[in-house]
Amino acid sequence: MQADLAKLVLRFGLGGMMILHGIGKLNGVDFIVGKLASAALPSVLAYGVYVGEIIAPLMLILGYFTRIGGWLIVVNMIFAIYLVHVDEIFALTERGVWAIELQMFFLITGLAIALLGSGRFAARPD
């Protein structure tokens, strides 16, 4: 029971924070298209941000194909770190905090959910 409740808290926490993180990108993906172009990647990949930051979080919140949603967030964050934050991997902010701590939190928590699954409190428990 406690493990299932912990999985629910983890799913809601990551899903809620990630969807709020992705809402700002609903206005367009021009910035991401530019980053993909500079990395010689196809611009159509920019729409993957909607999958990783809107659809995958909804999957977590609902508990529907949760493991897949977790993996989608992991892949999304790998792309985000590579395209936008690669120069910050070994950097600290002016306050001495790891510059990509938020991105790594999303990535690691997504990985944990992908490995743990949804638990009992889900639309489709796995």
Quick: pLDDT tens for 2-22. Answer: 999 999 999 999 999 999 999
List Cα–Cα distances, 57 to 21, 23, 61, 82, 99, in angstroms: 10, 11, 6, 21, 23
What is the reported pLDDT for 126? Answer: 84
What residues contact 2, with CB distance under 8 A and at least 6 apart?
Answer: none
Q: What is the mean pLDDT of residues 121-125?
A: 93
Which residues of the chain form beta strands (DSSP E)? none
What is the reported pLDDT for 29? Answer: 87
- Asked whether 69 and 117 are in contact (CB, 8 A), the reply is no
What is the reported pLDDT for 41? Answer: 94
State phi, psi for 98 to the nearest 5 degrees. -55, 130
State pLDDT tens for residues 28-72.
889 999 999 999 999 999 999 999 999 999 999 999 999 999 999
pTM of the model: 0.94
State pLDDT tens for residues 71-121.
999 999 999 999 999 999 999 999 999 999 999 999 999 999 999 999 999
